[in-house]
Amino acid sequence: MLLAVELNDLVGKCGQWLRGAGPESDIVISTRIRLARNLAEFPFVRRATSDERAQITKLVRKKVESVPQWADNLFLNVEGMTEVDRQFLVERQLMSLELADGTGDRAVAIEPEERFSIMVNEEDHLRIQVMCSGLDVQNAWQRIDEIDDLLQERLNFAFSEQLGYLTACPTNVGTGLRVSVMLHLPALVVTREIEKVFRSLQKINVAVRGLYGEGSQFMGDFYQISNQITLGRSEEDLVQTVSEVVPRVIEYERKARQFLLHESEQDLHDDVSRAYGILSTARKISSEETLHYLSKVRMGVNLGLINALDISTINKLFIHTQPAHLQKLCGHEMTTADRNIERAKYLQESLKTK
């Protein structure tokens, strides 16, 4: 029962990163920095025995709970969660698909405002991640550097003077750092310029991933841009690379939006209005359709075509209408058909007074 109560504390609210208050938040949803770390005393997760994985979880929990400023953090046993609870935390970006779908002893520590989480026994012993609203790479880097220092005072990380931090995947060896920025790029999709942007990014070793990171599909015109390789690069260098690349993508998206406004404002306004109308009146709607129409409405709000909504409301709807969130909000599990009906009701209730 304790697990359900702790998770339910997160259900009705939105984390700090979703509030749409950060820099460039018309296009950038969030900035995330992740560090991969392993404990020197144990084999990598895929080589560890069940007993060793349990020892890792126990040790990390003890050390995390020893940090005075983290007294209010949740520490959740993922193995004991229901499928809906695991999916809920993935939708919330608080843990990865790999941790959710894994087996054996594993856990996640979550800061109450969702500014950071620490995954235990994912691909590496620890995956530390910090989330900030909008394009806020330097602030995210400062936060995660402080968290890393606090953990390093308490845990013995596997480190090589020649290679740097040792990780399960060779692409993470070195700093173990991945800087990821989630962008909303509907105009580049409409103008069919998105593939050209992707090809340019791949040439400079910048990866493009879906809504939930590696292995996930592109949905709702959301894309995560991140560095690919960490070996031989300093933390500052990686942070700087992403800090320089993302503004260019933002500029391309803004130009595409202005092009749509200039060349076909009536068509764009009609498209946005239809999307808003469907979301406000539909009697049943899938999560994929909801993301599609919310994407159009979000762009419309940012271009001044819709004045009755704010970005924080749209951001919340993106998350709260996802399958696990909807079931948590309703308090019970539902079939896909029932979710489609409840999702439409939730959208109507959320949008009718806006």
Tell me the pLDDT band of 213, cut-offs 50, 70 and 90.
Answer: low
Residue 345 forms part of a structural domain:
no
For residue 199, how many C-alpha atoms fall within 13 Å in the half-sphere facing its CB?
A: 5
* pLDDT of the residue at 95: 94
For residue 239, how many C-alpha atoms fall within 13 Å in the half-sphere facing its CB?
A: 19
Residue 109 reports pLDDT greater than 80: yes
3-class secondary structure for 215-227? CCCCECCEEEEEE
Residue 274 forms part of a structural domain:
no
Residue 188 reports pLDDT greater than 90: yes
* pLDDT of the residue at 211: 63
Domain encompassing residue 158: 2-253
Average pLDDT value for residue range 273-299? 95
Whether the Cβ atoms of residue 121 and residue 106 lie closer than 8 Å to each other: yes
* pLDDT of the residue at 154: 96
Residue 336 forms part of a structural domain:
no
Residue 212 reports pLDDT greater than 60: no
Which of 84-98, 117-131, 199-213 bottoms out in mean pLDDT, i.e. has the lowest? 199-213
* pLDDT of the residue at 126: 98
* pLDDT of the residue at 102: 93
* pLDDT of the residue at 270: 94
Secondary element (H or E) of residue 294: helix 287-302
Strands (E) across the chain are located at 28-37, 74-77, 107-110, 116-120, 126-133, 159-160, 164-165, 177-184, 206-209, 222-227
Kindly report the CATH number assigned to the domain that includes residue 40. Answer: 3.30.590.10
* pLDDT of the residue at 230: 63
Whether the Cβ atoms of residue 171 and residue 227 lie closer than 8 Å to each other: no
Q: What backbone phi and psi angles, to 5 degrees, belong to 34? A: -125, 140
Residue 62 reports pLDDT greater than 90: yes
Percent of the chain scored above 70 by pLDDT?
94
Domain count, the chain: 1
3-class secondary structure, 353: coil
Residue 40 forms part of a structural domain:
yes
Tell me the pLDDT band of 229, cut-offs 50, 70 and 90.
Answer: low
* pLDDT of the residue at 215: 45
For residues 66 and 202, the model is more confident at: 66
